[in-house]
């Protein structure tokens, strides 16, 4: 079994939660100097603590080399891991999770899933909710709050997706 600390070399993302995307992006630009944030919205189905549920979020992402700064605004569905974990009234940006890349072929993603299952940590989210051999982009949020005080996201992208903004660690 690979421990989470063994994977820190693949740390690619710091992620924050906000109650107001416009204000959070303005803060990131003015106070942190993070520019070029690309905004998006997603409505997907995730497996959340063993139950298929819809999830809708707004996001803003900026890449700096192979690293990523992410802001998420929960909208609807299985947003409890965002809204229960932080005090959204406390600050415009609230630290939520780190993202760790899972490089390599699909077999590496499947190995990561087995490692998480062997740990005492739960899958807060798993996407796709129903995995298939045709998946090209997968992620999971693991509830590591008991050990780390925050969630840990693992991200896998098929190596054929080199160059997509969502996976800056895939380089040519």
**How large is the C-alpha radius of gyration of the chain?**
15
More confident residue, 160 or 5: 160
Q: Would you state the pLDDT for residue 5?
A: 81
What's the number of CA atoms in the CB half-sphere (13 Å) around residue 163?
2
What pLDDT is recorded for position 172?
A: 53
Phi and psi, residue 4, nearest 5°: -55, -40
Going along the chain from its start, the domains and CATH numbers come out as 4-161 (3.10.180.10)
Name the DSSP letter for residue 32: H
The 10s digit of each residue's pLDDT in 42-79 is 999 999 999 999 999 999 999 988 899 999 999 999 99
Q: Residue 25 above 80 pLDDT? A: yes
The band of 164, judged by pLDDT with boundaries at 50, 70 and 90, is confident
Q: Give 58's Cβ-side CA count (13 Å radius).
A: 11
What was the pLDDT predicted at 126? 96
For residue 117, what are the contacts with CB-CB under 8 A and spacing of at least 6? none
pLDDT of residue 99: 96
Q: What percent of the chain has pLDDT over 90?
A: 77
When pLDDT is cut at 50, 70 and 90, the band that residue 166 belongs to is confident
Mean of all residue pLDDT scores within the chain: 92
* pLDDT of residue 30 exceeding 60: yes
Place of tokens 């590591």: 144
Supply the DSSP symbol for 121: -
**Cβ neighbours of residue 108 under 8 Å, at least 6 residues apart?**
102, 156
Q: What is the mean pLDDT of residues 97-108?
A: 94
Indicate yes or no: pTM above 0.95. no
């Amino acid at each position: 079994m690979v421990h989470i600390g063994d994977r820190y070399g693949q740390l690619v993302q710091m992620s924050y939660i906000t109650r107001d995307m416009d204000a959070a992006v303005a803060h990131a630009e003015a106070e942190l100097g993070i520019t070029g944030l690309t905004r998006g919205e997603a409505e997907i189905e995730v497996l959340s603590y063993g139950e298929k549920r819809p999830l809708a979020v707004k996001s803003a992402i900026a890449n700096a080399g192979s690293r990523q700064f992410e802001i998420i605004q929960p909208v609807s569905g299985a947003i409890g891991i965002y809204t229960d974990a932080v005090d959204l009234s406390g600050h415009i940006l609230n630290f939520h999770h780190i993202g760790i890349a899972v490089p390599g072929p699909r077999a590496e993603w499947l190995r990561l899933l087995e490692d998480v299952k062997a740990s005492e940590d739960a899958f807060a989210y798993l996407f796709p909710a129903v995995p298939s051999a045709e998946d090209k982009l997968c992620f999971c949020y693991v509830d590591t709050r008991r050990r780390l005080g925050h969630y840990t996201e693992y991200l896998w992208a098929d190596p054929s997706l080199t160059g997509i903004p969502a996976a800056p660690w895939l380089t040519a």
